[in-house]
Structure 1
């Protein structure tokens, strides 16, 4: 970002990682993602023709509904970028150090390393005590599939898949965009990801309205997902109990089977590294859905795989922090 030198942007990004490690992602009313979500819901109410679950008007004119979804996508990412740029510029004019602090905090709000770990351990802890009821409840907080009757192995799969997929969304991608364009571009990415998580579904309500949001999120994640695959292989090389060779082989063998052009890469890498199989039969609202099976089932999944997945999550963040510190040392 033109307000700051490359060294300043790298330093603020490194500080944002540390801030997330220590504090995480408090659910403050002022959190930018909360406001982005409110904007999306407000715009959906104004633009989506299928109000109150009525999808007949959507089916009648899907092309027009798609264009309304394009308006939602463009307006959300443009406003997210513009407002943050204005906010940071104003803070910087008041005092450069205020600008640094605001930029660092805003970048940190786009990252969710600790939040992802906390969500995973919210399921892991009751699994350790055999409390499947709580484990199913908390798993339902982080996945869209039905969880009311899942056994331990399937609960573990749901959590490991979520952690693996979100290493792209919650760690690598926002940090890459922060390095490329400071907090405004990092927030533009977070807005893109929030759009996909709210309207990017392939169901009757959102298949057309959320089409632009889903495709834009695929574009934004294309390079970060592939970088994440390489980082996960390196993490597996440095993590006891993981296989870097299997992680790399699993990406080549299975990633393209996933319906997403990006999510299959981190999920395959983690499955291969741990020697387990991810994917399989899920249920959404009582309807069965078979997902691509990723990795080789060399052993049964256990609750400990949640711990291994979180270790890989943190391993990726440690490698990225190490790279940033090296750049700071060289440029400084």
Structure 2
């Protein structure tokens, strides 16, 4: 029951306050750990023979993707265990606070809202800069429609990665399992690229992230469809586009919530994009039933909130049912 309470408090605090910017965020600590370990592994794997070096990097990447989440979850587990032995009530407060920190709904909405505000002020350079803070693609040449699409897509995709997936794992194993998930997800965002630098070292991290997100992404998509109906968006079209376009992405998980969002908003997302100066061809997701507009950024945020609440309710009911039969 303490896990359920801690997660509920965490969701409420995140919705009200967002990330506590006055405190160093644990994900940044995980990021520093990733940077330090990657630097060390690359030194060890350095070899004059490119083939030997690539083989070493492949093996090192597998060790790396085990070490990072184990350390990232192990340290908080050790701290929590120590606090619990002396002050159980303090341990519960710490669990609530960590659950709060590991969720990113309010901060994601705030960042996307900056894009919306710049667009409404007709400040395209400002909108490009704002959206560059939350997407990985090149934004310098995006027009107003491209900026809007990028913002909507990142809110839709991160509904799972940044909100419902960590909540899903925290409802199973509390903030410790939440830290494990966030470490895997952060690894993927930092080294899980298929470019020359990370093709070998980051391969295991990318696959591990795909595995961790496989179930949460699909649950999130179905809950987002339900949220579309509840919010009086086009739930029927959300279901139709989800069934048709949920596999239109190189990642097995990324298009799950993105397809639902495109259908619910009756817009077309995705398509070709530039990353690090290179054009990547992507399929479109959704039908171009109407032009995408700035308000769609806010609507995507509403879908995210609805999906998060439904995930919390669903997991709470399942936990209660399981505990009732034990």
Report the TM-score, using the length of structure 1 for normalisation. Answer: 0.92
Q: Show the counterpart of 1:317.
A: 308
Q: Show the counterpart of 1:117.
A: 109
- Are residues 1:214 and 2:206 paired? yes
- Are residues 1:166 and 2:158 paired? yes
Tell me whether 250-259 or 189-198 shows the greater mean CA deviation: 250-259
CA drift of 1:245 comes to: 1.3
The two structures, once aligned, show a CA RMSD in angstroms of: 2.2
Identify which of 75, 91, 94 aligns with 2:86. 94
CA drift of 1:322 comes to: 3.9
Count of matched residue pairs: 323
CA drift of 1:184 comes to: 0.8
Gaps of 5+ in 2: none
For the structure 1 residues 138 and 219, does the alpha-carbon distance in structure 2 shift closer, same or farther, using more than 3 Å as the test?
same
Identify which of 262, 280, 293 aligns with 1:271. 262
Q: Show the counterpart of 1:175.
A: 167
Instruction: Give the Cα–Cα distance (whole angstroms) in 2 for the partners of residues 310 and 37 of structure 1.
Output: 26
Q: Secondary structure at the match of 2:140?
A: coil
Answer yes or no: is the 8 Å Cα contact 1:200–1:210 preserved in 2: yes
Answer yes or no: is the 8 Å Cα contact 2:168–2:311 preserved in 1: no
Q: Show the counterpart of 2:278.
A: 287
Q: Show the counterpart of 2:70.
A: 78
Answer yes or no: is the 8 Å Cα contact 2:167–2:312 preserved in 1: no
Q: Secondary structure at the match of 1:283?
A: strand
Identify which of 10, 14, 19 aligns with 1:20. 14
Identify which of 130, 153, 166 aligns with 1:138. 130
CA drift of 1:49 comes to: 5.2
- Are residues 1:297 and 2:288 paired? yes
Instruction: Give the Cα–Cα distance (whole angstroms) in 2 for the partners of residues 234 and 253 of structure 1.
Output: 17
- Are residues 1:63 and 2:55 paired? yes
Tell me whether 102-111 or 202-211 shows the greater mean CA deviation: 102-111
Q: Secondary structure at the match of 2:198?
A: coil
Q: Secondary structure at the match of 1:288?
A: strand
Identify which of 210, 221, 226 aligns with 1:234. 226
CA drift of 1:109 comes to: 1.6
CA drift of 1:202 comes to: 0.8
Q: Show the counterpart of 1:257.
A: 248
Q: Show the counterpart of 1:4.
A: none
CA drift of 1:318 comes to: 2.4
